[in-house]
A and B are shown apart, each in its own frame.
Chain A
């Protein structure tokens, strides 16, 4: 029995030691003078847009000479992300960048951060709270209107348009829905909106069902590229390629490839590299007490067959 207990202890020690190794010796010293910031974004495993964002944030942090801790959760779970913010606060970082899974979840954590004079900034998705002191994001509403107009110009027949949205109440998803919807409805299209919770599997299911139920759907707009591509799969499965046009939003490599292949009609390119750079610089400047950018809305632009080659590497 004793042997077993000591074995248990030994294994647990190994586990903890392994944790230290994984950490790469990042035992941060508050007194060291070097600035440490934390980042928690939407899980990159689910959307490449966020995997890119994480890389850009890391690059810019390195360029600014600050330590960055990535606390992004692996699943799109708002509760886990809130926990990661709380952990960052306890770790005593000087600043936190949040790319929120759900922008409504952070109220209390933000007040704790404020009490500890930790600067909190948002990237990609606005967080409606006075404690969040900077925001860099795509101007989703105006970019979505641009997309809406593009769709109006490129759809030859009027009919129903299916919008595959993000999570209902999520600021970026709602803005993209509203922008596209306003323009389409003003031009005599009927819009069917379905929230797909940023989940491509759900988007595929919804698109399949809606296409089955509504033979007069002429186009699908996916509020994010993986959702749009899921919609495209549904269109292909039902043999409607060419009859139902599909449009996306994000500007991911997979979408570019699909545009080049003549399947996806167009997407909006979001400049996540610029977003990452601006937000890291703003955060570091605020920590140092220097003047900084407080709000940057970046215009997205349409990528279609005419210009996709320029953006494919």
Chain B
């Protein structure tokens, strides 16, 4: 059972490089257009602004490659944030808060996987349901609670550039190692390529799916921890639409929505494209409504490239 991702045809390589070319072009264009954009400060800011989306998108990268989908992560983000806020309000020690919220995120991820795998409900529907469930629970727990003014030691998690960016880089490295160095990781590609073939080849597909979704939940918690620390408050409305932002970043990077193809490197590029576009357009004084329009165009464009290439591969 060879892994599909290992087939490095010319088009495969090119496909990985296109988003990178896009990123470089976007960056250079903005740098040429705006003097304030081509500064070290701005580069640092782009990376910092990429942290929340980046850590969040690490999970969907794995889930999408395996052919799964998790729409509940935006709501789970809010729920984890509320749980963090409540624990900090109750003066739970910061280290315990961090560990418990990561465990909580992972457990919720497992639950998502279990619902999809256990019932055979399509992932789209199963996780759509959980999206409502998590949001509702977040509102039940967090309504009428002031969750803010956290201890300094907690705020340090999201303060400045160094710590949040380092956390993001570690997350990316973990996913990289998982996908390229572990059996569970590269089976992700096989399962995404063909669920049925993998199962017949003896891959424990159901068990692995549980693990992929669990990892997704874990990274949601990482992301929520950083934002709660950074903003120094949490509330129940967080994460609205974030699941789609994360999935969009993964897809812009070139990971296929239909599974089997992709990688964390592509997600890094996808996240940076989104963040660079937002920051760059801000530097040019473009309103945030136009920023949305441009991100939308980039998503369509990226997926269109994918479609065109698939068609060419079929013909070849």
Contact of A104 with B298 in the complex, beta carbons under 8 Å: no
The answer, yes or no, to whether A242 is at the interface (CB within 8 Å) is no
The answer, yes or no, to whether A186 is at the interface (CB within 8 Å) is no
Determine, out of A74-82, A250-258, A270-278, the stretch whose residues face the partner at the interface.
Answer: A74-82
The answer, yes or no, to whether A311 is at the interface (CB within 8 Å) is no
Measured CA separation A69–B36 after assembly (Å): 14
Contact of B235 with A108 in the complex, beta carbons under 8 Å: no
B301 / chain A contacts, CB cutoff of 8 Å: 8, 11
Contact of B45 with A90 in the complex, beta carbons under 8 Å: yes
Q: Say whether, besides A86-B49, A194-B144, A71 and B237 are in contact (CB < 8 Å).
A: no
Contact of A12 with B26 in the complex, beta carbons under 8 Å: yes
B149 / chain A contacts, CB cutoff of 8 Å: 104
Nearest Cβ distance between residue B307 and chain A, in whole angstroms? 12
Contact of A86 with B45 in the complex, beta carbons under 8 Å: yes
Interface positions of B from 185 to 221, Cβ below 8 Å from A: none
The answer, yes or no, to whether B145 is at the interface (CB within 8 Å) is yes
B227 / chain A contacts, CB cutoff of 8 Å: 79
B18 / chain A contacts, CB cutoff of 8 Å: 5, 8
The answer, yes or no, to whether B29 is at the interface (CB within 8 Å) is yes
Contact of B144 with A71 in the complex, beta carbons under 8 Å: no
Which single member of A5, A22, A75 contacts B21 (CB below 8 Å)? A5
Nearest Cβ distance between residue A33 and chain B, in whole angstroms? 16
The answer, yes or no, to whether A309 is at the interface (CB within 8 Å) is no
B292 / chain A contacts, CB cutoff of 8 Å: 74
Measured CA separation A182–B309 after assembly (Å): 66
Contact of A90 with B283 in the complex, beta carbons under 8 Å: yes
Q: Say whether, besides A87-B45, A90-B42, A197-B237, A168 and B288 are in contact (CB < 8 Å).
A: no
The answer, yes or no, to whether B178 is at the interface (CB within 8 Å) is no
Which single member of A74, A84, A167 contacts B235 (CB below 8 Å)? A167
Contact of B237 with A199 in the complex, beta carbons under 8 Å: yes
Q: Say whether, besides A23-B284, A91-B36, A168-B144, A4 and B308 are in contact (CB < 8 Å).
A: yes
Which single member of B21, B35, B45, B280 contacts A19 (CB below 8 Å)? B280
The answer, yes or no, to whether B52 is at the interface (CB within 8 Å) is yes
The answer, yes or no, to whether B286 is at the interface (CB within 8 Å) is yes
The answer, yes or no, to whether B236 is at the interface (CB within 8 Å) is yes
Nearest Cβ distance between residue A12 and chain B, in whole angstroms? 5
Which single member of B25, B146, B282 contacts A87 (CB below 8 Å)? B282
Measured CA separation A161–B26 after assembly (Å): 55
- For the residues of B in contact with A, the DSSP-based class is helix
Contact of A19 with B286 in the complex, beta carbons under 8 Å: yes
Q: Say whether, besides A74-B289, A108-B159, A19 and B232 are in contact (CB < 8 Å).
A: no
Interface positions of B from 225 to 255, Cβ below 8 Å from A: 227, 230-233, 235-237, 240-241
Measured CA separation A181–B186 after assembly (Å): 60
B288 / chain A contacts, CB cutoff of 8 Å: 71-74, 80, 84
Interface positions of B from 127 to 156, Cβ below 8 Å from A: 143-149
Nearest Cβ distance between residue A19 and chain B, in whole angstroms? 5
B23 to chain A: closest residue by CB: A12
Measured CA separation A17–B33 after assembly (Å): 9
Interface positions of A from 48 to 98, Cβ below 8 Å from B: 69-80, 82-84, 86-92
Q: Mark B44-55, 1 if CB is under 8 A from A, else 0.
A: 010011001000
Nearest Cβ distance between residue A62 and chain B, in whole angstroms? 15
Q: Say whether, besides A12-B25, A90-B45, A108-B159, A26 and B285 are in contact (CB < 8 Å).
A: yes
The answer, yes or no, to whether B66 is at the interface (CB within 8 Å) is no
The answer, yes or no, to whether B30 is at the interface (CB within 8 Å) is yes
A8 / chain B contacts, CB cutoff of 8 Å: 18, 21-22, 301, 305
A71 to chain B: closest residue by CB: B282
A71 / chain B contacts, CB cutoff of 8 Å: 282, 288
Measured CA separation A195–B144 after assembly (Å): 6
B2 / chain A contacts, CB cutoff of 8 Å: none
Contact of B236 with A108 in the complex, beta carbons under 8 Å: no
Contact of B36 with A20 in the complex, beta carbons under 8 Å: no
Which single member of A4, A105, A197 contacts B232 (CB below 8 Å)? A105
Q: Say whether, besides A27-B33, A80-B288, A108-B160, A16 and B25 are in contact (CB < 8 Å).
A: yes
The answer, yes or no, to whether B124 is at the interface (CB within 8 Å) is no
Contact of A26 with B233 in the complex, beta carbons under 8 Å: no
B146 / chain A contacts, CB cutoff of 8 Å: 168-169
Contact of A169 with B233 in the complex, beta carbons under 8 Å: yes
Q: Say whether, besides A13-B29, A15-B297, A87-B283, A1 and B14 are in contact (CB < 8 Å).
A: yes
Nearest Cβ distance between residue B295 and chain A, in whole angstroms? 10
Measured CA separation A90–B36 after assembly (Å): 6
Measured CA separation A108–B233 after assembly (Å): 13
B45 / chain A contacts, CB cutoff of 8 Å: 86-87, 90
Additional A-B contact list (10), CB under 8 Å, known A169-B146, A195-B143: A15-B294, A15-B298, A74-B292, A75-B241, A76-B237, A79-B227, A87-B45, A104-B231, A169-B147, A195-B144
| Among all A-B residue pairs, the 8 with the closest Cβ atoms | A16-B29, A23-B284, A87-B282, A169-B146, A26-B285, A105-B231, A90-B42, A104-B233
B interface, CB within 8 angstroms of A: 10-11, 14, 18, 21-22, 25-26, 29-30, 33-37, 39, 41-42, 45, 48-49, 52, 143-149, 159-160, 227, 230-233, 235-237, 240-241, 278-290, 292, 294, 297-298, 301, 305, 308-309, 312
Write 26 A-B pairs (CB below 8 A) sorted by A numbering. A8-B21, A8-B301, A9-B21, A9-B25, A11-B301, A12-B26, A15-B294, A16-B26, A19-B30, A22-B281, A22-B284, A23-B284, A23-B286, A27-B34, A28-B36, A29-B35, A71-B288, A76-B237, A78-B233, A79-B52, A83-B278, A89-B41, A91-B34, A102-B233, A105-B233, A197-B236
